[in-house]
Amino acid sequence: MFSFLKKDPPASTAATSDIPRPGWSERLKQGLSRTRGQLSGLFRRARIDDELLEELETTLLMADVGGEATNFLLDELKARVKRDRLETPTQLQAALAAILETLLAPLEQALDTGSHKPFVIMLAGVNGAGKTTSIGKLARHFQQQGKSVLLAAGDTFRAAAREQLIAWGERNNVAVIAQESGDPAAVVFDAIHAAKARGIDVVLADTAGRLPTQLHLMEEIAKVKRVIQKVDPTAPHEVLLVLDANIGQNAIAQVRAFDKAIGVTGLIVTKLDGTAKGGVIAAIARQQPTGKPLALRFIGVGEGIEDLQPFVAREFVAALFA
């Protein structure tokens, strides 16, 4: 077991930070361009008719909004067309945006890490979803809030994951608790003890990627959670499931499976910039696959360290219809 300790950031950090980047709203708009592209042509017609509504239904399904959420959106939309006497596709687009924002609003729940110290966040997901990268970006997010952060390299199966997390630790100037092999639960156990001793505010615990069908690995991640609770009966205080937006409707099944194993409290949806399936967020909002209120804590639209930001329904919808 070893700990990567803080050191001075590289001399190049200040120079690279001076390079201007688009603001978050613009990056979000750029990131959702593929999903938005499916909708953009629909509302340029001369009038609202059955053909337009049928094409809208097809487009929503292609964006992986899902059957249940698509039916809900169309029913609400048709009701508004009749009630408000909408006549133009522009009016229809504005109505759809308002309905979608109302649907997504319950997912918007800011993560408050001030209730416990350390506040332990456990991250899970399938291979390649972006857990380790998300941890590095979350570390920066919490640092910007004035929080001290410690990373736990709980993916002990993939050497590259440990090395990647240590690199993120160096980049963010935060400590990483890691070991070359062994029990992932032991790594997280030691990390929480270290955080308590050092007065750390937030612990971000990585775990190995696994498929919900790999039952022995799902039991292993459940063990990690049980071990965390031995150190602190109130922890983990947040269990974040990282979802790759490219998987579309399969996200629903992943949420249900991981929730059954470890009790998911929040989601991170990554890689929205690489897919036309951004509508899956609407499917999650409509179906609430865990059977309890679920928070979409963060969304990711790029590779940059600041390209993972808290989900805000109004921002998301505005970028989708910009």
CATH of 2-6+108-320, one of 3.40.50.2300, 3.10.310.10, 3.40.50.300, 3.30.930.10: 3.40.50.300
Per-residue pLDDT, 71: 96
Give the Cα-Cα-Cα angle 80, 109, 139 (nearest 5 degrees). 140
For residues 259 and 251, the answer to whether their CB atoms sit within 8 Å is no
Q: Are 164 and 128 in contact (CB under 8 A)?
A: no
Look at residue 179 in the predicted model and tell me its pLDDT: 83
| pLDDT at position 19 | 52
pTM of the full predicted structure? 0.90
pLDDT of residue 124: 95
pLDDT given for residue 46 in this prediction: 76
Domain ranges of the chain: 2-6+108-320
Give pLDDT < 70 ranges for the chain: 1-21
Q: Which two tokens stand for residue 109?
A: 């729940």
Q: What was the pLDDT predicted at 15?
A: 39
pLDDT reported for residue 38: 78
The reported pLDDT for the residue numbered 189 is 94
